[in-house]
């Protein structure tokens, strides 16, 4: 199903570029735009995961540079029945994480240092299990390509406005250029919405099963929610098209359930995880929404280290 969604997104990207090429250069521009779109589609499929990791200055680590995190991820991957992904650390105070890659054999998990500082070892393991669930479910291909294409769609709007389309085609070209400039950001949002929020619930459920205790993930989401609300992620603010990739929306004001949000409300996710824990016969502390203090980090006592 995700491969079909990916094909639809790539076809839509091609159509948008061809439409812009026709607007700017007529039939000749249409042909040029077609080949540009093909090149972009090829790059989006094969190189978008690396591009996203570069956006966040992610640093790859291994068993010697981050032994505890690496061995814990390897254990969770073995439980999930997938190959050990490449592992990255992002030096950012916001507690968050994401997975990327076109398939389980070519996947990566990136973890913010803020996540490791603020969560217990069990909670970090649960977050990693959630990201591995995305990899196992093959969500990461469409998640990563969507991030790339959503950014490209926004660029199309600027190209249409500042290109020579309005000069070459008179008043009609001007109107079309303005229309594309206005509609392109909306199209980018719709592209992101092609990623159903139900995938987060599915990854939460599978993550709870992989780590063996959904309460750990519920507690982690509670802490992450509090951290995201008070600690900005400037890399994400500069690259909002990647927001849907994270376990929690990293953008300011991205907490509530709504028509155009990329993530379910954390309260709903926590409730679903606690229900899962009850069904599994697992008992544990049920976190209260926004129980994390608003004063920032939770203190060094909860650091799950050593992280290398």
The more confident residue out of 202 and 254 is 202
Phi and psi at residue 60, to the nearest 5°: -70, 140
Q: Report pLDDT for 303.
A: 42
Strands (E), the chain: 59-61, 86-90, 97-101, 107-112
- Token pair 């779109």 is at which residue? 37
Among 67-71, 120-124, 158-162, 263-267, name the one with the lowest average pLDDT. 158-162
With cut-offs at 50, 70 and 90, classify the pLDDT of residue 266.
Answer: very high
> Which residues carry out catalysis?
131
pLDDT winner (highest mean) among 17-21, 221-225, 281-285, 290-294: 221-225
pLDDT at residue 241 greater than cutoff 50? yes
Annotated domain spans of the chain: 196-291
Per-residue pLDDT reduced to its tens digit, 90-106: 999 999 999 999 899 99
- How many C-beta atoms lie closer than 10 Å to residue 36's C-beta? 15
Residue 247 DSSP symbol: S
| Top mean-pLDDT range of 20-29, 220-229, 243-252 | 220-229
| Nearest CA-CA partner of 9 in 232, 188, 255 | 188
Q: Do 102 and 146 form a contact (C-beta atoms < 8 A)?
A: no
Quote the CA–CA distance of 4 and 219 in Å, as a whole number. Answer: 35
C-beta of residue 307 within 8 angstroms of C-beta of residue 116: yes
Please provide residue 90's backbone torsions phi and psi, each rounded to the nearest 5 degrees.
Answer: -110, 125
Residue 202 CA to residue 277 CA, distance in Å, equals 15
Distance, CA of 126 to CA of 121 (rounded, Å): 9
Instruction: Report residue 45 as tokens.
Output: 């499929």
């Amino acid at each position: 199903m995700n491969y079909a969604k990916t094909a639809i997104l790539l076809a839509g990207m091609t159509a948008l570029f061809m439409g812009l090429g026709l607007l700017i250069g007529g039939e000749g521009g249409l042909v040029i735009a077609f080949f540009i779109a093909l090149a972009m589609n090829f790059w989006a499929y094969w190189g978008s995961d690396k591009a996203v990791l570069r956006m966040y200055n992610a640093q790859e680590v291994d068993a010697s540079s981050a032994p505890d995190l690496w061995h814990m991820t390897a254990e969770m991957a073995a439980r999930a029945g997938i190959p050990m992904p490449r592992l990255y650390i992002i030096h950012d105070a916001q507690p968050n994480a994401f997975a990327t890659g076109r398939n389980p054999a070519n996947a990566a998990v990136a973890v913010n240092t803020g996540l490791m500082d603020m969560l217990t070892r069990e909670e970090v393991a649960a977050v990693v299990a959630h990201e591995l669930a995305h990899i196992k479910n093959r969500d990461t291909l469409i998640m990563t390509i969507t991030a790339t294409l959503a950014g490209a769609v926004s660029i199309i709007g600027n190209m249409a406005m500042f290109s020579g389309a309005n000069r070459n085609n008179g008043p009609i070209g001007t109107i079309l250029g303005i229309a594309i400039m206005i509609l392109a950001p909306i199209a980018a949002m719709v592209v992101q919405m092609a990623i159903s929020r139900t995938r987060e619930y599915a990854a939460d459920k599978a993550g709870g099963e992989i780590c063996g205790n959904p309460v750990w993930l519920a507690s982690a989401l509670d802490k992450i929610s509090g951290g995201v609300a008070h600690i900005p992620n400037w890399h994400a603010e500069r690259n909002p098209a990647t927001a849907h990739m994270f376990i929690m929306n990293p953008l300011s004001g991205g907490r509530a359930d709504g028509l155009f949000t990329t993530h379910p409300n954390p309260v709903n996710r926590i409730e679903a995880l606690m229900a899962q824990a009850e069904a599994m016969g697992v008992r544990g502390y049920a976190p209260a929404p926004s129980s994390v203090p608003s004063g920032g980090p939770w203190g060094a006592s909860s650091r799950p280290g050593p992280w290398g």
